Amino acid sequence: MSKMRTADALAAEVYSYEQRCMMDLSDNYTLLYAFIGRALISKYGTEGERALREGLRRYGRDRGLASRERHLKAGFKVNMRNLFSVMFDLPGDPRFERELQELNEEERVSHTLVCPMADIWKEYGMREIGRMYCEEFHPACYNHYAFDYGVTNLAKTLTQECDDYCDFNVVLRKANVPPELLPQCFEEEDPGYVRPEPPSEGPTGKEGFETLSIKLYYYILEAALEIIGPEASAAVGEGLASAGADGRARAERTAVNYGKEFGREVIRDTYPISADPFDEELWSGYKGGNSMELIRDYLAPALLV
Amino acid sequence: MYNLHEIKLQNMQDAFSMLYLSLADKLTGEFGKTEGERILREAVRRAGRDSGEEILNKHRQLGIRTNLKNLMKADCTLLDPRFAGKHVADEEERQIFEVYTCPLAHFWNWRGGSDAGSCFCEEFQRAKVLAYTAGKGQLNLSNRLTSIRDGFCLLAAFYREANIDCEAAAASFSKCGGKEEAKPEIPGASFRENIGRLTADLYTRIYETAGESKGEEGRLAVKKGLAAFAAEEKAFLIKKAEDTGKCMDAEFVRANFQLDADPAGDEAWDGILNPEAVALMKETVLDLFFTAQYPSRQERGGIPESDPKEENKN
């Protein structure tokens, strides 16, 4: 613990409070998934894993579709260059280290050398659960973004025991896109097209992570209820309670390291899901399976002061 | 230095690479890069699917567990000694394989056919894995030797118990209660049979998709590509015959080329229901190779093939 406090205290000298909150939001999102996943697998074994993987795929498709719609609405083409360079659904995390090898409309090739998600899964002994995220989420998201004509190649990941980087090769081959979709995807297929200026502002960390956390949690719950049955609610609730307690401890550390008084304000700044009050707008479409009630009953009591 | 047996495998492998590239060149030349590649990629996907389904059915009939470890064992291309690679993970649910030298990539890159080669690499194995795993597996090709960027191919396939139902899991994975005694050895793959099957199938799929996409013009482009291949492969076989002290006759062709003279009696064409494509291959390629007799270097006054007395000295 003292070692961790030292590391956190040192980090406080490097990162501003706002940056620290961004990283906490990211870590809490990463662990919300992992705690729910661990509870499901621990209780239901392969069936739990089945639900987790299915939930990840649904979440990935939702997020991919949302990115596609955002791009089309803003006048951007649906292609690899835009997917990985404009209008992200999250602000950047300074801890990521990436080596970009290729970025064009058809192909994005990059190596991730440092991934805070992989790091925290490993730190918590949940690398294999993290690996499931890498294996299911990325292809579902990127491929669906590109009208399901995209192909995600992720042969190495930092969550795999034999790997020391993530090897992303995500492609959308012009020759695999039906002719009628080409003008929506590639600039040269749309004569006279003028690329818009990317918006200068993206979502805030809180807004981005809250949206994504709600979706990720909701789809895992939905898949668990379908695959396992109503009894799966309790395991999901158990995961939420663990996530809440861990989020609270992280908020306490951040408060200490940045000289803040620990309370609801720090929790709001560092935890992606607002449970008191709920942000009703963000939950719209994701209320099935008593999703909000579970947050209220399990996550909130462990998280909130 | 390769031995004569290894050289025969290599000649067949190179014939496959040459045929594919000849057809790809004609299609992209006639219809442009995007449209040509569209035909090519679809054909490669179909051939990959055929291959995956064929192996799946064979494994099911023999009672072999249908998992990635067994799928990998059925890959005959690894028998070409010019392949060099290593398994990073060799498991039923996960295969991670790195390829450092690949005769297909080498041939295509050397001939300026990297893009066409990439179409094959990107589509074939993925379609094969998906077909073999009934759509539940994944194939990730993060690096490929046909890309100027990469120094090796990196393939990772995943087929997870949690993504299939219990019945499929029992038929696939040792840990899921499949009977140990019902696990016969996978029959050794004959390189010639396998590459012959792949050659016949991929060619037919290209003929088929070119026709579907471009009608008579498409089939004509394939015909031109096939004629170009026939001329080049004939010269190649003559050269290879000379290099190994033989003359190019029907016996040499049978030993160094993957298709028989008569498709009707050749298992490579079993189940291929496209008589037009088969007839075109016969009249353009097979008749040319198997009916012609080319003089040996000795007959043309060159270096003798071998001295039988030399063999007795050993």
Query: Would the CB atoms of B38 and A175 count as touching at under 8 Å?
Result: yes
**What does the pLDDT average to over A274-294?**
92
Q: Do residue B141 and residue A167 have CB atoms under 8 angstroms apart?
A: no
What is the structure's pLDDT at B309?
Answer: 47
Measured distance CA(A173)–CA(A80) in Å, rounded: 10
What is the per-residue pLDDT for B178? 60
pLDDT at B300 (0 to 100)? 62
**Residue among A201, A235, A7 at smallest CA distance from A91:** A201
Distance from CA of B96 to the nearest CA of A (A): 8
Residues 6+ apart with CB under 8 A from B214: B31, B35, B39, B221
- A-B CB pairs within 8 A amount to 65
**Rounded mean pLDDT of B52-75?**
93
Q: Spell out the domain ranges in chain B.
A: 4-176, 191-313
Among A50, A109, A171, the residue with its CB nearest the CB of B149 is A109
Q: Pick the residue with more confidence: B226 or B248? A: B226
CATH number, domain B4-176, options 3.30.1380.20, 1.20.1440.130, 2.60.40.10, 3.90.180.10: 3.30.1380.20
pLDDT value at residue B116: 98
A153-167, A256-270, B18-32, B175-189: which has the minimum mean pLDDT?
B175-189
| Each residue's pLDDT tens digit, A35-50 | 999 999 999 999 999 9
How does pLDDT run across B287-310, given as a tens digit for each residue? 999 986 666 656 665 555 454 444
Cβ atoms within 10 Å, residue A283 = 17
**What stretches of chain A show up as alpha helix (H) in DSSP?**
2-14, 17-44, 46-74, 80-83, 116-123, 127-145, 182-185, 205-227, 232-257, 264-270, 280-283, 291-294, 300-303
**Mean pLDDT computed over A213-235:** 98
Q: Which of A133-142, B54-63, B67-76, B80-89 has the lowest mean pLDDT?
A: B67-76
What pLDDT is recorded for position B277?
Answer: 98
B14, amino acid identity: D
- Put simply, the answer to whether A162 touches B89 (Cβ < 8 Å) is yes
At B197, is the pLDDT very low, low, confident or very high (cuts 50, 70, 90)? very high
The minimal CB distance from A176 to the residues B33, B41, B138 is found for B41
More confident residue, B302 or B83: B83
Report residue B62's pLDDT band, with 50, 70 and 90 as the boundaries. very high
Distance between CA atoms of residues A155 and A143, nearest Å: 16
pLDDT digits (tens, 9 = 90+) for B163-175: 999 999 999 999 9
pLDDT band at B180 (very low <50, low <70, confident <90, very high): very low
Q: What is the pLDDT of residue B296?
A: 61
pLDDT reported for residue A222: 98
How confident is the model at residue A3, as a pLDDT? 53
> B218, B224 in Cβ contact below 8 A?
no
